[in-house]
Amino acid sequence: MGAEEKKAKSRYGTVNFEKRKHPRFSVDLPVEYSRTELSVEGGRAINASEGGLLLYLPEQMGVGHHLRLKLFFTMGSELNAIETVVEVVWVDMLLEKDRGDFRTGVRFVEISPEDMGRLKNFLRSLSG
């Protein structure tokens, strides 16, 4: 095999790209969520995309459950909050038994065009 063939061959190695519809951004943002209108709990968003969030929640949710969720973030000096309904798509077991956090993947089910615009602008600001 000549040097040119080796050089060409090395360009085609295996690369494991994540196959996601939307890029994810690492964040650490407060969220408030509720399963009913009566109780509001707190959690953290650990990463975000235009399609959904990775949350750390103090309780285990069932896959398929819907949550009313508020996500808080700042852009410049302005505090923003978006409101959405999300669906739980996967849940990991306890991360740390002391803290009792559950890693919970959610996708956006209902979000207003205005709130989606605010989220997109926020995510764009993280990538720049």
Identify the structural domains of the chain with CATH numbers, from first to last.
Answer: 20-127 (2.40.10.220)
Tens of pLDDT, residue by residue over 10-69, are: 444 444 344 557 789 999 999 999 987 778 999 999 999 999 999 999 988 999 999 999
Encoded tokens for 60 = 């285990």
Ranges assigned E (strand) in 7-124: 25-34, 41-48, 52-57, 66-75, 78-94, 102-111
The more confident residue out of 10 and 93 is 93
In degrees and rounded to multiples of 5, residue 72 shows phi and psi of -110, 135
Check: CB of residue 102 under 8 Å from CB of residue 44. no
Check pLDDT > 70 for residue 118.
Answer: yes
Whole-angstrom Cα distance, residue 91 to residue 102?
A: 7
Check pLDDT > 80 for residue 4.
Answer: no
pTM of the model: 0.78
Tens of pLDDT, residue by residue over 69-88, are: 999 999 888 899 999 999 99
Q: In this predicted structure, what is the pLDDT of residue 51?
A: 96
Contacts of 9 (CB under 8 A, 6+ apart): 1
Sign of the torsion formed by the C-alpha atoms of 93, 120, 65 and 35 = positive
Q: In this predicted structure, what is the pLDDT of residue 68?
A: 96
Helix ranges (DSSP H) in 1-128: 3-10, 113-127
